[in-house]
Structure 1
Amino acid sequence: MCFVVDPRLERSSGERRLAFLFDSLRELDAKLDGKLLIVRGRPDEEIPRLAKAVDAEAVHISGDFTPFGRRRDEAVAEALGDVPLEATGSPYLVSPGRITKDDGEPYKVFTPYFRRWREHGWRQPADSSIPGSAVLDPSGVKKSGRIKTPKAPTTLSFPAGEDAALARWAEFVDDDLADYDTGRNDPAADVTSRMSAYLKYGNIHPRTLAADLGRSAGGQAYLRELAFRDFYADVLFHWPHSLWHNWNRQFDDIELDTDDEAYERFEAWKAGRTGFPLVDAGMRQLAETGWMHNRVRMVTASFLVKDLHLPWWWGAEWFLEQLVDGDMASNNHGWQWAAGTGTDAAPYFRVFNPEAQAKKFDPEGEYVRRWVGDVDADDYPEPIVDHKAEREEALRRFGQI
């Protein structure tokens, strides 16, 4: 079993994502009795070299459906020549590309996709993992190029790996799943599962989660979130340009702010110094932990694109820099949902009011006080914009396209 540390991904990944990856590899190596072969280099060079060294009849990988992953795997397949590259695994309940309309076209709207997704179904979890004794010992591979598991560049606030994923999932099912349907939008209660990073890095498979959900309201609400994860991966699969460009190209003409004042506001947003307590709480939680409650992600994203009129990809890049989970499809299409530029997005006239959102979802101010200890201090900033005025400005700009 081999993992190739690609320098291109090292350069483009935030420290927290790298730390979670390396911690996950360290745990996997221990589970395999030290038989995980880790090399560094371009996969289209390293994999063919190793396949030749062990006289491999085939190379098996887990499918990667991102634009970069597909290009990379195509290059590996070409470099392998007559040795087939087999994608035998997928990190989704239903792999991108499998759910289509009757005419073969992909879905653009989640609700009909969700119905077809449920009809399609998925396999049950595998009975067991591969035992370490069944894995080729890399010490017997000549000139393998093996490296030690890279050191994590930062310390995370929660552990990585399969054991941690299973423990966290069991805790969520026992303590919070029953309340998930009604409590998932309350950032102070925090009944969310926090499984996103474990899913992103393959520490646990969504089939394992789905098998435990049952028919309760909480279980079905959680299943719907897993479906959203698959849906956004499917959208990116069919429209790869939407990773960093508007899925709806009509919005390419919208007026955006990119001058010096815009950058100053962007820095205030990143630092959690906007003068809107719920926005600031979310941004400070992100900076400190590498995670943010989903409801607050929507509020902070809406504020950046519709109150500050900044490009959504500025925010998406910052989230990827800070988040531990950092899933490209979910992150970037979540941002496009907030911006109104994506598939099945929030309508352009829906502009979250940060103060109204705080009253509705954090009525006692518990979440805000947890992350914005200076909210009542004299030096806490005044609001950097007038929400009512900026809402009208956002509607004006959207109305021009």
Structure 2
Amino acid sequence: MPALLWLRRDLRRADHPALLAALDAADGALAVLFVVDPHLWERGGPVRRAWVAASLQAVQASYGGRIAVRYGRPDEVVPAVAEEVRAGSVHVTREVTGAGMRRDERVREALATQGVEWVETGTPYAVGPGLVRNGSGDPYKVFTPFHRAWQQHGWPAPAEDPAELSLLDVESDDEALELLDEALAVEDLPELPAAGEAAALARWADFCDEALADYTQDRDRPDHDGTSRLSAYLKIGAVHPRTLLADLAPKRSTGSATFAKELAWREFYADVLFHQPWSAWRDLRDALEGLRYDEPEDAIEAWKRGETGYPIVDAGMRQLLATGWMHNRVRMITASFLTKDLHVWWPVGARWFLDRLVDGDIASNNHGWQWVAGTGTDAAPYFRVFNPVLQGEKFDPAGDYVRRWIPELRHVEGKAVHQPWEVEDGYAEGYPRRLVDHSEERKDTLARYEAVKKG
């Protein structure tokens, strides 16, 4: 009996357990489907929509151009296609977010009325969220013990790549294809990276050859090309983290261990969201309940445009607008500025990042914001107020990153670019004055924290 594979966050062919399970059940008659879900499509920002469209177009080649693309509610579209191809089973990579699990339950129930089996195989993670627990059987709340347990738990080897795919020819609908085309034709889109599985693996190979050895030292330097830039591919499932971990295993270097630890952070945040799905948009910890926040609309818009008057902050925000990506160290600096210098509640920034980031992942993005804001998984958040000048001088010591993204400061040499107010002609090319005085806002932030702690 034919089988149907429904692709979601797994737009690849290699290391794809759900594909293998579908092939095993298909008896030579497999159909592949991608659903443009109006709920997700309309809520996603233009960058995310464009990245999905580009990634879907790229993966079509791996499936011989036979991925059917349909528009509509998954609980209506998937059963309809299953009936169309007379599938006895529908196969997916297991979803682990609250919204995704609720959607899948609706689809599973609809399929059950047709007598179609629902089969979940694998997850987007090396270790599925919910599997790593402490000795009492509870989930970990802090990263370090989670990381140790995650390593001890281990993960399977990458799944085999099917040698051949003989797929049923199922038509796409015009509305879905038009939406994909429109997503890629939006004006002012950032320059997206090359999409697809082959591009992801090529980027991984280049990173291993050129930057992995120095990753521990260079990963915090936005002025260096020292990061993997794989986050967008991991987000869309063009490559599985298990594939990367398998390549890292024989290297046994400081850089490879550090990179594996960064993958563990991604899995930790997914685990946190799995156990506390409400934490996507609410404070994970109530330690700051009652904290006073501001809503300075003009300042928030200036932050979004990269016009705060603090160069490292503005460089990061302009990099985001121009490329759909921002260096991770700078993500922390820009998030700290919004939450600690402008006193804005973290979901405002988290939403903007999700709208503009190619790699916008709700677990990593939103819990990363909470880590900075002091409402998340970190045990000691009260003293962390990043100084944007010192952060810039430490991680962009020659000012090259700032000058790359802020043309108004290219006439300022060296690390002086991080304090244009101290340079005689620092504002000669029109760079904006500082929105706030960091030292005063830091005092204000700590005072607000103290007021909450005292009750």
Q: TM-score, normalised by structure 1?
A: 0.95
Aligned 1:145-184 pairs, distance under 5 A = 145=173, 147-148=176-177, 150-151=180-181, 152-154=184-186, 156-184=191-219
Change (3 A) 1:241 1:159: same
Aligned to 1:285: 319
2:269 corresponding residue in structure 1: 232
Measured after TM superposition, the shift of residue 80 of structure 1 is 1.1
Find the counterpart in structure 1 of residue 132 from structure 2: 99
The CA distance in 2 between the partners of 1:396 and 1:277, in whole Å, is 26
The alpha-carbon distance between structure 1 residues 62 and 345, as it changes in their structure 2 partners (threshold 3 A), is farther
- After the TM superposition, which residues 198-209 of structure 1 pair with which residues of structure 2 at under 5 Å, given as runs? 198-209=233-244
SS of residue paired to 2:384: coil
What per-residue deviation string (whole Å, max 9, x for no partner) do you get for residues 365-385 of structure 1? 010110111124422112111
Structure 2 partner of 1:241? 278
CA deviations over 1:295-319 (Å, ceiling 9, x no partner):
0000000110011100101100110
Identical aligned pairs, as a percentage?
53
Structure 2 Cα separation of the partners of residues 346 and 279 of structure 1: 24
Where 1:112 maps in the other structure, the secondary structure is helix
Amino acid at match of 1:333: H
Which of 417, 421, 439 in structure 2 is aligned with 1:388?
Answer: 439
1:108 aligns to what? 141
Whether 2:252 is the aligned partner of 1:220: answer no
Q: Secondary structure at the match of 2:96?
A: coil
8 Å Cα contact 1:31/1:132 also seen in 2: no
Contact 1:197 1:326 survives alignment (8 Å): yes
Unaligned runs of 5+ in 2: 1-31, 410-425
- 1:268 and 1:131 map into 2 onto residues whose CA distance is 53
| Local SS of the residue matching 2:76 | helix
- Cα separation, partners in 2 of 1:215 and 1:311, compared to 1, 3 Å: same
The code of the aligned residue for 2:301 comes to: E
CA distance in 1: counterparts of 2:341 and 2:439, whole angstroms: 9
Report the counterpart of residue 408 of structure 2 in structure 1.
Answer: 374
Partner SS, residue 69 of structure 2: strand
Q: Which residue of 1 aligns with 2:352?
A: 318
Q: Which residue of 2 aligns with 1:70?
A: 101
Cα distance in 2 between the residues matched to 1:346 and 1:270: 28
The equivalent of 2:412 in structure 1 is none
Residue 387 of structure 2 is aligned to residue 353 of structure 1 = yes
* 1:249 shift after superposition: 2.4
Secondary structure of 1:310 counterpart: coil
**Long gaps (5+) in structure 1:** none
Opposite residue 265 of structure 1, the aligned amino acid is A
Q: Distance in 1 between matches of 2:362 and 2:149?
A: 24
* Letter in structure 1 aligned against 2:111: L
Matched residue, 1:188: 223
Deviation of the 1:278 alpha carbon: 0.3
- What does residue 136 of structure 1 align with? 168
Q: C-alpha separation between the residues in 2 aligned to 1:127 and 1:178?
A: 28
RMSD: 1.5
1:89 Cα deviation from its structure 2 partner: 2.5
Question: 1:23 is matched with which residue?
Answer: 54
Equivalent position of 1:211 in the other structure? 246
1:153 Cα shift? 4.0
1:13 aligns with 2:44: yes
Residue 117 of structure 1, CA deviation: 0.3
| C-alpha distance 252-358 of structure 1, shift in aligned 2 (>3 A) | same
Distance 2:406 2:358 in 1: 21
Instruction: Please report the TM-score for the alignment, with normalisation by the length of structure 2.
Output: 0.84
Q: In 1, Cα distance between the equivalents of 2:146 and 2:76?
A: 38
* Partner of residue 89 from structure 1, selected from 114, 119, 122: 122
Q: The residue matched to 1:393 in structure 2 has which SS?
A: helix
The question of whether the paired residues in 1 share the 8 Å contact of 2:51 and 2:192 is answered with: no
1:127 CA drift (Å):
2.8
Distance 1:25 1:370 in 2: 32
Partner of 1:266: 300
Task: For residues 265-293 of structure 1, give each alpha carbon's deviation from its aligned partner in whole angstroms, at most 9, with x where no partner exists.
Answer: 10111111111000000000001100000
Contact 1:180 1:218 in 2 (8 A): yes
Residue from 67, 75, 78 that aligns with 1:47: 78
Matched residue SS, 1:351: coil
